[in-house]
Structure 1
């Protein structure tokens, strides 16, 4: 999947994947991460998610990496308007940085962001990762590379991972279907995985039901 696909989605405002509310799984289970206030939380492929907003309000230092500058322009504007956080935007080479108190956003290719860059910006390593819509946004050919890069980027920090699973013969992604077996294949060598919740969402997803799906499962994992 090429970057042009996502740039086109954002430029045309075809962002049905964006939720206009904080994810209920985050609200319910984030306390189980047991993170101290001020901990640095990475949200890969973050879009303009309100989950980042919620985490910043909860007292964490939030780090978002996103391909689309349009998405981060909107997210930065909202952080300024609603949380009164001054955000400074700077273009540095192929990346655009948005810096504010407790906020670091990077527009650019996720795979071009390094652990060393984050250490320089943050004064240390990432403390935790929240992956709600990143792994499921990538085709199978990219997911192995992503999982390994994320592990290196975060220095193996614990993760809260949310995935989706359905019959991909009936509908193609994104979001892409991830089986429990595939999640274990990507992460068993790197973490201890705990499947904390599996929930059937098909009755809450009429747009996917209309495309022929009879099951649309959400799974929540903790990776430590």
Structure 2
């Protein structure tokens, strides 16, 4: 059962293979050209440096993360000074000198709306099938009607149960509806031996554009 406690334990015990050092090259290549100051939402952000890259492009970035350890590590690893205040059950950490804040708490209790864009590298694939529809519905409700964004999904064979979970292409389309369009895909099992060693012939990473 994938619960909040499951993820908190993963951070506590350092089992965070989903974390990527550096900035995701697919973000740099495929991020849409948006006006400076656009509000960008990063659900289940972990301690991803993708948020710093987005903020440095001139966007107003909000990451939402359950684990206080992830938040502390993100702020500490990047030597960031910040201010913290409470908004209900959520802790909001506002970074000094960069248009970036981390909201610490349960994503499903985060209710701000009218974001101009969304970036999901590892959030949807972290959701078990039973929570995936709720996640996508909640995320779309945070976005404006004209919002766009970038989504990265995984689809793989073998016995692995996840997380990250395998999400079939037709499921992505069913979940996100007409707002999502696939722009590229790569079978990582052909280029990275670790996936072969894990028993995969297919470990496809797909990039999708979320459109107004």
Counterparts of 1:164 and 1:187 in 2: how far apart (Å)? Answer: 15
Superposition map of 1:18-33 within 5 A: 18-30=19-31, 33=32
Question: Which whole-Å deviations, capped at 9, do the CAs of 1:115-149 have from their partners, x for residues lacking one?
Answer: 25xxxxxxxx3110011110001100000000000
1:111 to 2:108 alignment: yes
Counterparts of 1:52 and 1:130 in 2: how far apart (Å)? Answer: 9
Question: Who is 2:10 aligned against?
Answer: 9
Question: Which whole-Å deviations, capped at 9, do the CAs of 1:82-137 have from their partners, x for residues lacking one?
Answer: xxx53112344422110134112111111101025xxxxxxxx3110011110001
SS in 2 for 1:171: coil
Q: CA deviation at 1:170?
A: 1.6
Question: Who is 1:119 aligned against?
Answer: none
- Count of aligned positions: 207
Superposition map of 1:1-224 within 5 A: 1-30=2-31, 33-79=32-78, 81=79, 86-100=81-95, 101-115=98-112, 125-156=114-145, 157-167=147-157, 169-188=158-177, 191-224=178-211
Counterparts of 2:28 and 2:57 in 1: how far apart (Å)? Answer: 11
Identify, as 1 or 2, the structure richer in strand.
2
Q: CA deviation at 1:186?
A: 0.6
SS in 2 for 1:115: coil
Q: TM-score, normalization: structure 1?
A: 0.86
Question: Who is 1:121 aligned against?
Answer: none
List structure 1 segments (4+ residues) > 6 angstroms apart after TM superposition.
none
Counterparts of 2:189 and 2:155 in 1: how far apart (Å)? Answer: 11
Q: TM-score, normalization: structure 2?
A: 0.91
Counterparts of 2:92 and 2:54 in 1: how far apart (Å)? Answer: 19
Identify, as 1 or 2, the structure richer in helix.
1
Counterparts of 1:61 and 1:108 in 2: how far apart (Å)? Answer: 19
Q: CA deviation at 1:151?
A: 0.4
SS in 2 for 1:209: helix
Counterparts of 1:36 and 1:78 in 2: how far apart (Å)? Answer: 29
Counterparts of 1:64 and 1:3 in 2: how far apart (Å)? Answer: 17
SS in 2 for 1:143: helix
Structure 2 gaps of 5+ residues are none
Counterparts of 2:131 and 2:173 in 1: how far apart (Å)? Answer: 16
